[in-house]
Structure 1
Amino acid sequence: MRRSTAQSGRQRSALDAAYDECRRLVRTTRPTEYALMGLMPPAARPACWALYAAFAHADDLLDSSDGTPEERAARLRQWRTALEADLTSGTSDDPIRLALTDAVWHWGLDLGDLLGALEAVQRDGDRQSVATWQEWRERSHAQNISWPEQFMRLLVRCGLPVPVRLRDVPGFTRFVEGLFLADMLRDLPEDLDGGHVWFPTEVLDRFQVAPADLIARRWTPAVRRLIAHLTDEARAWLEGARRVLRGSLPLGPAIVLDTTVDLFTAELDAIIGAGPAALSRPVRVPRHKQWRVLGPARARAAAIWRLTLPPTTATPGGRPAAGPDADTAQSTPEWQPVPVAEPPLPPRPHVDGVRPPEIAPAQLPNHVAIVMDGNGRWATGLGLPRDEGHRAGAVALRDVVQGALEVGLRHLTVYAFSTENWKRSPDEVSKLFAIMRAELLDGELLQHDVRLRWIGSPEGLPDDVVEVLRSQERATRHRTGLTLNVCVNYGGRAELTQAGAALARAALAGDIDPSRVTEQQFAAHLPHHSMPDVDLLWRTSGELRISNFLPWHAHYAELHFTDTPWPEADRRDLWQALETYTQRKRRKGAATETK
């Protein structure tokens, strides 16, 4: 298959949106797999999202509670038939099929294998339990083996020699079985909600567990032994496959393999630790344990890809221009702003399904400011580089912003980089700015009703960081939901000094009487005079100071200090701070409480 990769701006925008839809789907429904895809070469990640999103969407069509099993199977057949037509034409009006079609065309993926895997999912439409482990393995192989092989094909197209047909590599089928069983244990509560038990009948009979026991969530000794046995089996299959496979893979894919085994093993440990709760709700690996695995792996993988892969030119959607049609590809800038979703998407729910507290709008603070403290110390305490703490802190901020949107907060200001932070090592500062720039370019917040504003000085900042900050400000200027002020290269005293200098110039020009300067006049000369006063200032990680943060605007702020380091915070901590705020008496010097 060959086609020209030269595309109009409209086509490229639709394609970028399609890949982003796949990214959101994978990130929301399978955060572990999404994190593992982050270990792939950056140019290949959008194709990974498209591949997994297509498989997940097909599976969801069957697992949906909408309609009869026959109707759900019919919808899957229609979707697969439409995919075949799209793959022939090279385009689609469905975002997931459009992204997958582009990935297949651009990367030369194995179309027959992909359609075969989807056909296996379709054949599984009756969702009947299997009797033996052999039947279970046949189902696992038919549905799952093609997908990691496509990932290997992506690495080959990036320029790395790896074995594409992994099913012929010793240990690989057992690796797939371990992932499939671990995934089945992870999804057990959801399957039980639908009245399904997918474990082989022979293992249920061996432990004398009836499907009805599991569906009724009876945590009997027999059920406990069954779950312990299945987690031990999945762990043994994964560890055994790792020992065999490592010698067949280059260093980069070996890092992905090791991290996959470690993360899925951590999920199995969490399932065992959850006890009876493992039958009722999804079990999550604590964030600090996940980052203990992911942090070093991300650093090693990034270094390996830089050393072993030839450079490629990335298009705005992340797809490389290198490939079979590189002669027709048009050169593009290093990056382009991520399109702003219109209309904006609703807030993304928390992974555990928790909802915000019911707080009347009149009781909510209008403006919350956060000193996001403890990133570096959190990472050091876990034996990770300090920059991994900043990376984890960026993830925490995403969730807090979603929580601010959910609860209806109007203004949120975060301290991202102070003028005092220049005292840190040049290496840490450089990595912090790289993380900041990547987060701004990721575009997730731009899909929601967030207006981003930059507060701080451009002096000394890298040009690309300044450019991205200003670009995202322009892109979101019409948003009316949450205003997110990001303080980068900001200092409170410097802000006051600027206001004083502006007042002095105005006095010299005769515009004001220096003997009659009012607070309102002073505030009008602040660099960001339109920003409302801070009602609540929250600092994490146990420090009890405000560190030169918004001294004018926070003059009457309620202070809220928590011991949790910022990377371990999420929207629930914000909600707790808001509930604490509603219990404070806001007198502002008056004798009686004011609202």
Structure 2
Amino acid sequence: MRRTTTRSGRERAALDAAYQECRRLVRTTRPTEHALMALMPPSAQPVCWALYAAFGHADDLLDRSEEAPGERGRRLREWRAALEADLASGTSDDPIRLALTDSVWHWGLDLADLLGALDAVQRDDDREGVATWQEWRERAHAQNVSWPEQLMRMLVRCGLPVPVRLRDLPGFTRFVEGLFLTDMLRDLPEDLDGGHVWLPTEVLDRFHVTPADLLSRRWTPAVQQLIAHLVGEARAWLESSRRALRATLPLGPAIVLDTTVDLFGAELDAILRAGPAVLHRQIRVPGHTRLRILGPARARAAVVWRLTLPPGGEAATAPARTPAVDRTAAPEFSMATRISEPPLPPRPHRDGARPPEIAPAQLPEHVAIVMDGNGRWATRNGLPRDEGHRAGAVALRDVVQGALEIGLAHLTVYAFSTENWKRSPDEVSKLFAIMRAELLDGELLDHDVRLRWIGSPDGLPDDVVDVLRSQEHATRNRTGLTLNVCVNYGGRAELARAGASLARAALSGEVDPARVSEQLFAAHLPHHALPDVDLLWRTSGELRVSNFLPWHAHYAELHFTDQPWPEVDRQDLWQALETYTHRKRRKGGRVAE
């Protein structure tokens, strides 16, 4: 469902006030989290406030010690039911629900995940405690995995390719557990005020501490050892998750990750130093420590977002729709279930640019692109080379949308050549991580794009092969643009495989060597059904074709541009197509005057 209504001035003012109320709640109740939200792109920060305020409000409804447990549960059920109704209608008279509803509508957040997290909070009303670490972890994951994934989804909508399905990444569950345990230690006095001890009985027994010891605020040597152990566990989980996640995230989210681990680590230091006070009041990080951590992080984040996000990248460029809620769906990721039916129309250009009027008969059928200059662009801007590859993925998204808009039938892009293995192992590893994340979390499954993989699986990581094949299968019935992605591809290797196939056919007697023709040779190519390339475009000022589609591009018109690939968008594609319409396609013959 898409939202097309325009808000009046009064509605806009009410919505701004709702977001500011969420910001006030987060800033006053969770200053650490509020400070970390300031590291996100400015256009995404209000949604961070709305998400966290909604989860915090739901949690607060259950923590009201002055009300009976049944009454607290009833209030939360009513609030959740009202939220679901508001999400269906697109508006609300409650400021927190209004801001969250607008965020879901505007950013295309995962409604099923959000409501599932609230359901997990609600289940705490019937709990007395948790017995084992496994039970504790299930509670932590159910309540906390969804909202960082929604933040990643917003970055995707801003134009940054990041892994939305964080729960599939190595180390992410430990990251959630480290945050949850730190938060639990920080909130220990409030939980004790409400009569709750959420620490696993398993760890209490290990240190010979009873819930009664904690509820009575007795600071015994055993309690001191317990707190020190939990602080150490939380710190170890956060640091190990930082090491595991760092290589899979682009520079902007990595800055947020590093700052989160550093700031929560400072909280753990403060908790450890607080001694008996940890049972009586919430422990805060000293102001000078917060400033030492946050100051440089804010400056770095501002520079990175400016360089890596498209100009004007914000939610307005994303399809605003409310995802369907399916509570019966299996929690495991399945690309086949994520595909949009019917496909969404192409996403508009961020500046409202429209494609030129080119008659279908004048359009090339097949355009191939050598996406060159990612690493040089990053180096020129003082960034690691992998940030160039991430920015290149953003550029490709926009070019694909432009190809859909103008009605192009086939687009082939050179994503990783057999010669690219000569690069450093670190760069190759990060490039594949970016490629996998982009394929999983990009926009292909929302639009009328059929993806086909051209290349060899030899040497590729299994997860990259799996996602390429899964995307091929998921999009096999699309009839709009065919996007051929060349991964681990080499033109000479392709010709050699065709020759070997033809030789085997000759040895078996299936083919007469004296009758081998171009058509017969082409039939033995790995992708013989691929149409000939009409236009081959290379960016970044290089004037060569680099072993790219030598058979299919034998009569291609060549188009070279100077800008590096990360600076390209769909308007550059349209300009290349307009240039093509002025070429005279002789193919060895004579063009009639």
Q: TM-score, normalised by structure 1?
A: 0.54
Which residue of the partner structure matches residue 202 of structure 1? 202
1:284 pairs with 2:284: yes
Say if 2:157 and 2:315, in contact at 8 Å, map to a contact too: no
Counterpart for residue 317 of structure 2: 322
* One-letter amino acid of the structure 1 residue matched with residue 91 of structure 2: T
Q: Is the 8 A contact 1:152 1:162 kept in 2?
A: yes
Contact persistence 2:109–2:150 (CA under 8 A): yes
CA contact (8 A) 1:155 1:161 kept: yes
The one-letter code matched in structure 1 to 2:95 is P
Per the alignment, in what secondary structure is the counterpart of residue 6 of structure 2? coil
The residue type equivalent to 2:150 in the other structure is Q
Distance 1:25 1:249 in 2: 29
**Relative to 1, partners in 2 of residues 1:280 and 1:234: Cα closer, same or farther, differing over 3 Å?**
same
The answer on whether the counterparts of 2:64 and 2:194 sit within 8 Å (CA) in structure 1 is no
1:71 aligns with 2:71: yes
Distance (whole Å) between structure 1 residues aligned to residue 202 and residue 38 of structure 2 = 38
2:107–2:315 CA contact under 8 A, matched in 1: no
CA distance in 2, matches of 1:129, 1:246: 34
CA offset at residue 216 of structure 1? Answer: 1.2
Cα pair 2:154 2:315 within 8 Å, conserved = no
**For residue 83 of structure 2, what is the aligned residue in structure 1?**
83
Alignment partner of 1:178 is 2:173 = no
Q: Does residue 109 of structure 2 align to residue 109 of structure 1?
A: yes
Alignment of 1:148-159 (within 5 A): 148-159=148-159
Q: Offset of 1:320 from its aligned partner?
A: 4.9
Q: Distance in 2 between matches of 1:278 and 1:234?
A: 16
Checking the alignment, whether the CA contact within 8 Å between 2:317 and 2:349 is kept in structure 1 is no
Match of 1:31 in 2: 31
1:92-241 → structure 2 map (5 Å cutoff): 92-241=92-241
List runs of 5+ in structure 1 lacking aligned partners.
314-318, 332-595
> 2:156 is aligned with what amino acid?
V
SS in structure 2 at match of 1:141: helix
Q: Does 1:298 align with 2:293?
A: no
Counterpart CA distance in 2 for 1:17 and 1:3 is 21
The DSSP-based 3-state class of the residue aligned with 2:130 is: coil
Q: Deviations over 1:433-469 (max 9, x none)?
A: xxxxxxxxxxxxxxxxxxxxxxxxxxxxxxxxxxxxx
The alpha carbon displacement at 1:175 in A equals 0.4
Aligned residues: 326
What does residue 256 of structure 2 align with?
256
**2:317 partner SS:** coil
Letter of the structure 1 residue corresponding to residue 30 of structure 2: R
Letter in 1 for 2:46: P
Name the SS for the 1:195 alignment partner. Answer: coil
Deviations 1:133-175 (A, max 9, x none): 0000001111110010000000000000000000000000010
What is the Cα deviation at residue 328 of structure 1? 12
1:183 to 1:195, Cα distance in 2 relative to 1, 3 A = same
- What amino acid is aligned across from residue 10 of structure 2 in structure 1? R
- Runs of at least 4 residues off by over 4 Å: 325-331
How far is 1:15 from its partner? Answer: 0.3
Per-residue Cα deviation, 1:344-385 (whole angstroms, up to 9, x for no partner)? xxxxxxxxxxxxxxxxxxxxxxxxxxxxxxxxxxxxxxxxxx
Contact kept? 1:4, 1:329, Cα under 8 Å: no
* 1:209-249 deviation line (CA, Å, top 9, x unaligned): 01111111111100000000000000000000000000110
2:312–2:350: 8 Å Cα contact kept in structure 1? no
1:330 to partner: Cα distance: 12
Residue identity opposite 2:103 in structure 1 = A
- The amino acid that maps onto 1:303 is V
2:273 alignment partner in structure 1: 273
2:390 equivalent in structure 1:
none
Show the counterpart of 1:362.
Answer: none
Which residue of structure 2 aligns with residue 43 of structure 1?
43
Alignment partner, residue 358 of structure 2: none
Q: Corresponding residue for 2:53? A: 53
The whole-number CA distance in structure 2 between the counterparts of 1:237 and 1:203 is 16
| Cα distance in 2 for residues equivalent to 1:7 and 1:43 | 18
Instruction: Give, as a single letter, the amino acid of the residue that structure 1 aligns with 2:221.
Output: P
Give the match's secondary structure for 2:4: coil
2:57 maps to a residue whose letter is H
2:318 maps to amino acid: G
Q: Separation in 2 of the partners of 1:330 and 1:311?
A: 9
Aligned-partner Cα distance in 2 for 1:308–1:64: 44
Supply the AA of the counterpart residue of 2:299.
Answer: A
Aligned to 1:377: none
Give the distance between the partners of 1:237 and 1:157, measured in 2 at CA.
30
Deviation at 1:127, TM superposition (A): 3.7
Code of the residue aligned with 1:324 in structure 2: it is P
Secondary structure of the residue aligned to 1:219 is coil
The separation in 1 between residues aligned to 2:162 and 2:176, in whole angstroms, is 18
CA shift, 1:7, in A, is 1.3
Question: CA shift at 1:13, angstroms?
Answer: 0.4
Q: Is the 8 A contact 1:21 1:95 kept in 2?
A: yes
- CA distance in structure 1 between the partners assigned to 2:193 and 2:37 by the alignment: 29
Cα-to-partner distance string for 1:74-117 (whole Å, 9 max, x where unaligned): 11011111111111100011110000000000000000100111
Q: Which amino acid aligns with 1:191?
A: D
CA distance in 2, matches of 1:143, 1:156: 22
> Which runs of no fewer than 5 residues in structure 2 stay unpaired?
321-346, 353-593
* Superposition deviation, residue 190 in structure 1: 1.1
Q: What do the CA deviations read for 1:5-36 (whole angstroms, capped 9, x no partner)?
A: 52110110010000001000100100000000
**Aligned-residue offset at 1:124:** 1.4
In the TM superposition, residue 324 of structure 1 has moved relative to its aligned partner by 2.3
One-letter code of the match for 2:224?
R
CA distance in 2, matches of 1:81, 1:188: 29
The CA distance in 2 between the partners of 1:251 and 1:6, in whole Å, is 35
In structure 2, the CA distance between the partners of 1:220 and 1:26, relative to structure 1 (3 Å rule), is same
Contact 1:120 1:143 in 2 (8 A): yes
| Whole-angstrom CA distance in 2 between matches of 1:94 and 1:224 | 43
CA drift of 1:312 comes to: 2.0
Residue-by-residue CA offset, 1:261-289 (whole Å, 9 max, x unaligned): 00000000000001111111111111000
Per-residue CA deviation, residues 164-202 of structure 1 (Å, 9 max, x unaligned), is 000000000010000000000000111111221110001
Equivalent position SS for 1:321: helix
What's the offset of the Cα at 1:120?
Answer: 0.7
Give the match's secondary structure for 1:101: helix
Q: Which amino acid is 2:197 matched to? A: V
* 1:351-390 matched pairs, under 5 angstroms: none
User: Residues 14 and 329 from structure 1, CA distance in 2 versus in 1: closer, same or farther, beyond 3 angstroms?
Assistant: farther
Contact 1:186–1:283 (8 Å) recurs in 2? yes
Q: Distance in 2 between matches of 1:320 and 1:109?
A: 11
Percent identity between the two aligned chains: 77
CA RMSD of aligned residues (A): 1.7
> Deviation of residue 329 (structure 1)?
11
- For 1:381, the equivalent position in structure 2 comes to none
Which residue number corresponds to residue 547 of structure 2? Answer: none
Change (3 A) 1:329 1:75: farther
Structure 2 CA distance for aligned equivalents of residues 282 and 294 of structure 1: 21
Residue identity opposite 1:321 in structure 2: A
